[in-house]
Structure 1
Amino acid sequence: MTSHDTQQTHTSHELIHDRADALLALHRAPEILTLVNVWDVASATVVADLPETKALATASHGIAASFGYEDGERIPLDLMLETVGRIALSTSLPVTADLEGGYGNPGETVRRAIGVGVVGANIEDQLRPHIESVENVAEVMKAAEAEGVRFVLNARTDAIIHRGDRPLDEAIDDAIERGRAYIDAGAACVFVPGLIDEPTAERLVEGIGHLKVSVIGVPGSLAPERYQQLGIARISYGPWPQRVALTALQESALVLYAGGSLPEGTQILT
């Protein structure tokens, strides 16, 4: 057994409970919860070291990419859980994990995630039928209840981002209908990814609830402060922080190949 496995075996249930309660409180606070997504212990350490960081969120795309997998549950679940577990062990902050669609069994996947120290998660509906999607949310909350954890489910609906040829108004209505049902089934928040403009944000908050909607920050998104004013609970950034880091790496490599030096103030990990 590795030292990591030993630490996981002795993860305190009390500590997990406290982190879950802290994460839930952050979602209910009037200030928007800003989550800069991480993908390994090194990125988690750098972000967690900032006093502004209140919690950590993993990005499935980033974790999968770091191991050479495409996104979309291509990475083995055991490897995904090992990685998010290592991240949870590396910090005293609450960690919420992107667990995609739940790998075929959302309730069991979340039960295992709680076991490695994760206290919140995104679970995608992947535009499954409404009844099936609501049942998945209920199964997640049932599993969390069995573990005695007030797990923070950020139930994701793909109604807008994968609307295809549907009119936007119809997609928003679908997101609201699904979102209300997910909240009723126990989700703390409803994640509606896509480029969410101000009128759409207003409709989502009005339809799903104040401090019940989370969004993703992408190029062209509103500023977090404006989303906060509109009643959005949370903003995260998905794969974009990793892309920013990799862009900086590539640019630094070009400088070094050209005979340049490392930039001043480069982070030193201990």
Structure 2
Amino acid sequence: MTAFADLHHADAPLLLPNAWDHASALALAAEGFPAVGTTSLAVAAAAGLPDGAAATREQTLHLALVLGSAPFLLSVDAEGGFSDDPDEVAELARELYALGAAGINLEDGLGPPDRHAAKIAAVRAAAPGLFVNARTDTHWLGDGDGTMRRLDAYLRAGAHGVFVPGLADPRTIAALVRGLDGVPLNILHTPAGPPVAHLADLGVRRISLGSLLYRRAIGAAVDAALAVRAGRPLPDGTTPSYAQIQRTGRQDGSE
């Protein structure tokens, strides 16, 4: 965990791009990102399943199997652990760590904070080397009420860092950073929110891209198909060659 934890305390915040398969993760790592996360929305969408419904445990473990030995640090978006049973969430964490994951992101989905704290404590006991990023959805699904109370509970349970997606107001972010007193705060980047440099000035230590890259990729694919159908030039953008994508394939042919 040390190398991944250290990225949260470096001179600049950890900018964590989120991949959805082997090729996207390797392409991001090739551009110098030392760590790559996964995105639960993309994992679910690719399998034709809903996000946030505890439906993609198998697919998440398979992606960790594919990426866990790659030459970058891997953080896995595991929704709420795919179970309300702390022991089952702990077993998931144990499997992810064995596959090579360096971190896990666990969201509370605005469920009871004591239940989420119990999951975090169980994960810490089962996989001590795994960096636990505890997410609260007070701003994502609510009005922000109770954010610090929930984060305090998760930190007491052993979380290494905390994640508050949906929070974009600079003053509120700065106040939360002060209240956390050195605990790494993770903020979800959005095109309409503060840019990376501003988030860094506010004291944010980790900036995730979430499903943004996946959604942009789907949009670009549809735009390209429409351009070809209409006889227009392809939209501006970088298109990797067949050979470049082929080189991201696993050399042993395994899955």
Structures share a fold, TM > 0.5?
yes
Letter paired with 1:156 = R
Match of 1:207 among 173, 179, 189: 179
Query: Unaligned stretches of 5+ in structure 1?
Result: 1-19
CA contact (8 A) 1:58 1:96 kept: yes
Calculate percent identity across the aligned residue pairs.
32
Instruction: Indicate the SS of the match to 1:219.
Output: coil
- The 1:230/1:82 distance shift into structure 2, 3 A limit, reads same
**Offset, 1:134:** 1.6
User: CA–CA distance in 2 between the matches of 1:141 and 1:95?
Assistant: 17
Q: Which residue of 1 aligns with 2:123?
A: 140
Instruction: Indicate the SS of the match to 1:78.
Output: helix
**Offset, 1:130:** 2.6
Letter paired with 1:266 = T
Q: Which residue of 2 aligns with 1:83?
A: 63
Q: Give per-residue Cα distances to partners, 1:9-61, cap 9 Å, x unaligned.
A: xxxxxxxxxxx32111101223110011100011111111102x110000000
Q: Give per-residue Cα distances to partners, 1:215-262, cap 9 Å, x unaligned.
A: 101231101111111111101111111011111111111121123465
Q: Give per-residue Cα distances to partners, 1:169-191, cap 9 Å, x unaligned.
A: xx1xx111221222232211100
**Offset, 1:95:** 0.2
CA contact (8 A) 2:54 2:79 kept: no
CA contact (8 A) 1:107 1:136 kept: yes
User: CA–CA distance in 2 between the matches of 1:239 and 1:140?
Assistant: 25
Q: Which residue of 1 aligns with 2:240?
A: 267
Q: Which residue of 2 aligns with 1:102?
A: 81
Instruction: Indicate the SS of the match to 1:178.
Output: helix
State the TM-score, normalizing by the size of structure 2.
0.87
User: CA–CA distance in 1 between the matches of 2:184 and 2:54?
Assistant: 30
Q: Which residue of 2 aligns with 1:65?
A: 45
Q: Give me the CA root mean square deviation.
A: 1.8
Q: Which residue of 2 aligns with 1:231?
A: 203
Q: Which residue of 2 aligns with 1:24?
A: 5
Q: Which residue of 1 aligns with 2:97?
A: 114
User: CA–CA distance in 1 between the matches of 2:171 and 2:237?
Assistant: 43
User: CA–CA distance in 1 between the matches of 2:174 and 2:238?
Assistant: 41
CA contact (8 A) 2:82 2:89 kept: yes
- The 1:96/1:258 distance shift into structure 2, 3 A limit, reads same
User: CA–CA distance in 1 between the matches of 2:208 and 2:219?
Assistant: 19
Instruction: Indicate the SS of the match to 2:168.
Output: coil
Q: Which residue of 2 aligns with 1:38?
A: 19
Match of 1:49 among 19, 30, 33: 30
User: CA–CA distance in 2 between the matches of 1:133 and 1:61?
Assistant: 20
CA contact (8 A) 1:195 1:220 kept: no
Q: Which residue of 1 aligns with 2:214?
A: 242
CA contact (8 A) 1:33 1:234 kept: yes
- The 1:75/1:128 distance shift into structure 2, 3 A limit, reads closer
Query: Unaligned stretches of 5+ in structure 2?
Result: 248-255
| Number of equivalenced pairs | 238
Q: Which residue of 2 aligns with 1:162?
A: 141
Moved beyond 6 Å, runs of 4+ = none
Letter paired with 1:68 = G
- The 1:75/1:133 distance shift into structure 2, 3 A limit, reads closer
**Offset, 1:209:** 2.7
State the TM-score, normalizing by the size of structure 1.
0.82
Task: Single out whichever of 123-132 and 214-223 deviates more from structure 2.
Answer: 123-132
CA contact (8 A) 2:54 2:81 kept: no
- The 1:211/1:30 distance shift into structure 2, 3 A limit, reads farther
User: CA–CA distance in 2 between the matches of 1:83 and 1:160?
Assistant: 28
